[in-house]
Amino acid sequence: MLRNTCPICENSSVVQVREDLAPHPYLGCATCGFWYQRELKPKVYEASHEAPGDSMSQHDKDVNRDLARRIFDLTKPTSSLDIGAKYPYLAHCFGELGVEAWAIDGIPEIMSFSQGLKVSARPWDFEDPATVESLPQSLGLITMIHMIEHLYRPILACVDVYNLLAPGGHFFIRCPANDVRGIDRDFTPGHFTIHPQIWGKRSLEFMAKKVGFQIVQEYAFEPGQRDMLLRKPTE
Read off the pLDDT of residues 87-142 as tens digits, 9 standing for 90 and up.
999 999 999 999 999 999 999 999 999 998 989 999 999 999 999 999 999 999 99
Low-confidence residues of the chain: pLDDT under 50 = none
Three-state DSSP class for residue 185:
helix
How many helices (H) and strands (E) the chain has is answered by 7, 11
Looking at residue 155, the DSSP 8-state letter turns out to be H
Q: What is the pLDDT of residue 202?
A: 97
Q: What is the pLDDT of residue 20?
A: 83
CA distance 137 to 131: 12
Q: What is the pLDDT of residue 59?
A: 97
Q: What is the pLDDT of residue 48?
A: 85
Fold of 45-231: Rossmann fold (3.40.50)
Domain spans, the chain: 45-231
Q: What is the pLDDT of residue 1?
A: 80
Interacting residues of 220 by C-beta distance below 8 A, sequence separation 6+: 177, 179, 180, 201, 226, 227
| Alpha-carbon distance values, 193 to 27, 45, 48, 50 (Å) | 15, 9, 9, 12
CA distance 1 to 38: 8
Residue type (1 letter), 157: A
Q: The whole model's pTM is what? A: 0.97
